[in-house]
Structures are given as C-alpha cells and as structure tokens.
A and B are shown apart, each in its own frame.
Chain A
Amino acid sequence: MLLRSHAHQVFEGMTLCAAVVGAKRGFLYLRGEYLALRAQLETVLAERRRLNLLGVAILGRPEFDFDIEIHLGAGAYICGEESALIESLEGKRGTPRNRPPYPVTHGYLGRPTVVNNVETFAAAAAIGLRGGAWFAAHGTEKSRGSKILSICGDCARPGIYEYDFGVTIAQILQDCGASNIFGVQVGGPSGVFIGEREFDRRLAFEDLASGGSFMIFDKTRDVLEIVRNFTHFFAHESCGFCTPCRVGTALLRNALDKLCAGHAAAGDLVEISKLGQFIRATSHCGLGQTAANPILSTLERFPEIYQARLKSVAFEPGFDLDGELSTARRLTGRDDAHAHLQQESV
C-alpha cells in the first residue's frame, strides 16, 4: 500500500537517508509478488529525476548525487532478513550472512549499507519535514510514533489500519468489526498468538511488537490447523543454510502433522516443546529463531487443546505405522488398499 500510493514518500525517505550518510546508490528490493507495482514505481522514480529529487546535484546541491534502482525478488520469505536481502541484491541465493560484521559497515558488495523497510523510510521523510518532536509526541515512552497494520482474517472490515503505538488489541478488534474471537496472531508467522485473556495488551515494542501483520481467528477455527499452516510455511521457507532450522523445521512440521492426524501421545508434546526451544536457541537467523513461535506460544497458552488431540496419555506409539510406509509406497508406485496399514486405536 505504501509503495502503491506513497512511493514518493518512501523514496524521499531513502534520499534523505542518502544525504545523511553520504550514499550514492539506493535499491528498492521489491518482492517478486509485487511485480504489478514495478512499472508505476519506475514512473515515480523517473518523475523524481525530472524534479531533480534524484540523480546528479539533487536540488542544486553539488556533490549530492543519489539514484535508486529497483531489484525484484523471486519468492523467498528469508529475503526479508537484512543480510539475506543483501545477498539477493548481489544476485545470489538469499542466505543470511554471519553477523558481525553488520551491514552498516560491511553490506552490499562489502560496503557500508543501510537496510530499512518502506514504513521506516516513509516515517523518516515525514520527520524530515515536521520534525522529531511531532513524531515523538505520538506513541508510548519506548515506542514513538505509529504502526501501520495489515488486518486480515475473521473480521467485518479487513484492510490497512494505522494506530499510534500503545493501542490495545481490544480496540483494534473493535475497530475492524471482529467478534467471537478466539485469538490473534500478532506479527505474522514469526510473531506470537494471543488469546482473549490478553486482549488488553498493547501494540508496542515493549509489549506486543508487530512488523504489521495482524491475523484474527474466531472461535470456529481450529488453532492446531493454524499452527500447522505456519509450521509448514517455515519448513518450506527455511533457506537450508543452518542445520537446526533446516532439519528442525521439517521435524516440527512432521510432529504437527502427526498430532493433527491424531497419532501423537504425551511424549510427543514434550518432544515438540524441547525441539522448538532448541531451534529457537541455535538457529543462525531470525527465521529459525522464530519458527517455533506459533507452536510454543499456543502450547503455553492452550495446553488443553493440544492434550485433547492426543491419542492416549498412557500409550506412546513411536510412529504412525501407515505414515511410515509412505516411502515404500512412493518407491513401488503403489497406493492400493493392500499398501496401507490400519493402526489399531486404543
């Protein structure tokens, strides 16, 4: 939305940043899904060059040269991580780098680089015009300014909502016409799932941080299916660079599948919890460190929902008999009735 309707302001924030740090080159990394925006963004860039807001000697200032080019992604969630994004900008696979050194000293092609999102640059432009005091008068002590949310899921009015930091979840839910709500995923798949007992919590870095995603689920939804979706998402989007994330997200996915199919036992929940904490503690980048959040945050809040799905607390099947035959079925190309095993239920 910012890039559709406020592209000038985003580019202005980038140019301001260039003036401050002395950069000559800027990139807009446009995720592959936003291809449709590219032509109009090129038009905005061309207009800014015409207005002498980009290019050589910007606004008549000698030595203030800066230009922006658009670089398209190609469908990889990990490229939102700043060092993976830089790798992708360099035309490589989007795998996160070791940090330090940080991009601010060793970024694009080993040069000092500022990486920020479009909302930050748009805010920087507004602050450049109206001053820091104007911005800081909004929000909370530790979270100044505002946050733009993309609200979706079970509500009457999904869409874009901007709030000063510090707004309560209950207020947001009321504004977008949500009722009979079971919970909200704040901050996307990497964020946290909160239930109705926590709707008085506030949107702020010191309480509930969000990159902008706000997904609402009503009481007709199955929280385990939601968690299973997120867990599949991370297993798919793991870049494969580090083992805890590459292997761990696949193990979590399998464990959730087993649970949702009704084949898990009490021991599995302990394993899921241990594995989740291990992935969180040992992964290389933010994707792995947050991949278990959907599971861990719901397991902590709604253990009874998980327990209700267990097969038996006394009996722990080590594996799903029929599931274990899937490799053999694939190898032999069989899928007939005799290629399946019925597992006895206890």
Chain B
Amino acid sequence: MSISEADQEWLAGVVADHGRCPTRLLQILREVQEHFRYVPRPVMEFLTAQLGVPRAEVQGVTEFYSFLSTQPQGDFHLLLSDSISDHLLGSRELGAYLCAKLGVEPGQTRGDGRVSFAYTSCSGLCDQGPAGLVNGWWLPTLSRARIDRIAALVEAAVPVREWPPELFAVRDNIRRAGLLLGNPVTPGAALKWSLLRGSTAPSPNWTSPGCGDAAAPVSRLPGSGSSATKDPRKPPSVR
C-alpha cells in the first residue's frame, strides 16, 4: 500500500510546519491520525526519512499512545470513558446501547468504515459523566436520548464541526470557590508586582537547540475559528 500524491504533499506540508523537528513527532502523528483516521505504514516510513528518527521509534510512539492507531478507525471515532465514576452513572449500559444502535463492537470499526467505538480510561470529565469523545471532542453528560441524536448524526454523515454545540457543552461546575478561585489574578498584575519587588534572577543565556523555536501550529479543528492568527499554518506572531 502506498499513499496518494496529494496525501504525500499534505504530509510534506505538515512536516515542514513542524520544522522537521523530531521533538514534534507526537504532534505530527496526531495530525496524521486525524487526517487518515490511523497512522499508515508508508507514513511511518516517510516520517522516518524526513525526521531522521529511527523507524522503530516512529512505530513505538504510534503504538504507545492510546489516541494513535495502526488500524483505520471510522470517520466518526467514538470513545466512552471507562472510569469508575462513569460506571456508577451507567456508562457500560450506555456503551452497549450505543454499540447496538450503530452496529459496532468495542474496539472495532464498522464494515463500511463510517464509525468505530472503544472504551477509554478517562475523559477528564468525571463530574459531568457519563462522558465520551467523538474524534477527540468532548461529549459530556451522555444519555440514551443523546446517543440517539449522535447515532443519527453519524448515520447521516454530518461532520462533527456541524453537530449541535449543546452536545459539546462542558461546564466549569464550580460549587465552592476558596483561596484561589475566589481571588482571581488580573492578567499581568502578579508579574508587575513581582518585578517591582525585584525578586527575579538575571537571565542566563539558555537558548533552545536546533529546531526548538517552532511555535505550535494553531488547531485547524472545529472551534478554532476564534484563533488569533489569520493563517493557522503560521505560528502566532511574537512581539
């Protein structure tokens, strides 16, 4: 299997964006995963050549992280948190319901490639469970009714960026503010005061080696419209 010319061009652009820097390997692989829905072998070979990182390391990194896969995931990749706090809220029953509804098995991709499903260790939303992720985006407070809506969107192939925002609405859920949350710092105030008090050390000249100065490219995923830079491919300007 090989990758198309268009894909190769896309890949070369991504690698260039990251300054061909080996420390950006994981960030590059995340973009590859999003683009192809997995990390194809020819891509690993391409990255090996482009970044000068051993092939074993590219594959090792791919296989290490749960959010990267060596097998194609569905166009819609659904994850459901398997944390105990989600269990208490009936996540396992919801997972079975979702699988039946969409005709998928945990850990597998449906025959038509439309959808895949898996359990994941934790979604980071234990106070707003049962929670999941679709293509990396939070889905809090899941219920059968919400899963019905999600299944309909998946079957109608509605891109995730066009899904109703309320499906993604995460709350801060602050119930009790104390010392820190009750006394927020105005941007700049702490720095100004501390510098006035003169508690800073003289800066030694640590400079970053090699390609380290590439700023992170801004997300090109849904919700990134509010990003401050016009061209998301360019690193944010530094003044």
Contacts and interface: CB of A to CB of B under 8 A. Distances in A.
A236 B88 CA distance: 20
B6 interface: no
Contact of A159 (B123, B173, B189): B173
B127 A230 contact: no
Contacts of B33: 74
Contacts of A176: 175
Interface residues of A, number: 107
Contact of B178 (A19, A63, A163): A163
Contact of B133 (A33, A69, A73): A33
B229 interface: yes
A91 B178 CA distance: 37
A260 interface: no
B206 A126 contact: no
Interface stretch (A46-54, A275-283, A295-303, A308-316): A46-54
A75 B119 CA distance: 12
Interface in A152-196: 152-154, 157-164, 175-176, 185
B237 A49 contact: yes
Nearest to A58: B191
A43 B127 contact: no
A31 B172 CA distance: 17
Contacts of B133: 33
Contacts of A64: 200, 203
Interface stretch (B19-27, B96-104, B151-159): B19-27
A199 interface: no
Contacts of A12: 185, 187-188, 190-191
Given A24-B206, A43-B227, A74-B30, A56 B239 contact: yes
A71 B191 contact: no
A56 B238 contact: yes
B187 A22 contact: no
Contacts of B221: 35, 38-39
Contacts of A5: 172
A244 B88 CA distance: 31
B61 A46 contact: no
Interface in A136-165: 138, 145-146, 148, 150-154, 157-164
Nearest to B25: A91
Given A9-B185, A75-B65, A1 B172 contact: yes
Interface stretch (A127-135, A265-273, A324-332, A334-342): A127-135
A230 B182 CA distance: 33
B215 interface: yes
Contacts of A243: none
How would you classify the secondary structure of chain B's contact residues: helix, strand, loop or mixed? loop
B209 A109 contact: yes
A54 B183 CA distance: 23
B64 A239 contact: yes
A154 B127 CA distance: 11
Given A22-B201, A109-B209, A157 B223 contact: no
B90 to A, nearest CB: 13
A47 to B, nearest CB: 7
B181 interface: yes
A94 to B, nearest CB: 7
Nearest to B235: A69
A103 interface: no
B212 interface: yes
Contacts of A91: 21-27, 53, 61
Contact of B224 (A39, A75, A76): A39
B111 interface: no
13 contacts: A24-B203, A24-B206, A39-B225, A49-B239, A67-B238, A71-B216, A72-B27, A109-B23, A122-B180, A126-B183, A159-B175, A162-B178, A215-B85
Given A12-B188, A43-B228, A93-B64, 10 more contacts: A32-B67, A38-B221, A39-B226, A55-B239, A64-B203, A69-B216, A109-B208, A158-B173, A175-B175, A175-B176
Interface of B: 21-27, 29-30, 33, 53, 57, 60-61, 64-68, 82-85, 87-88, 120-124, 126-129, 133, 136-138, 168, 170, 172-185, 187-195, 199-204, 206-209, 212, 215-216, 218-219, 221, 223-229, 236-239
Interface of A: 1, 4-6, 8-9, 12-13, 15-16, 19-25, 31-36, 38-40, 42-43, 45-56, 58-59, 61, 63-65, 67, 69-77, 88-94, 109, 111-112, 119, 122-123, 125-126, 128-130, 135, 138, 145-146, 148, 150-154, 157-164, 175-176, 185, 213, 215, 217, 221, 225-226, 229-230, 233, 236-237, 239
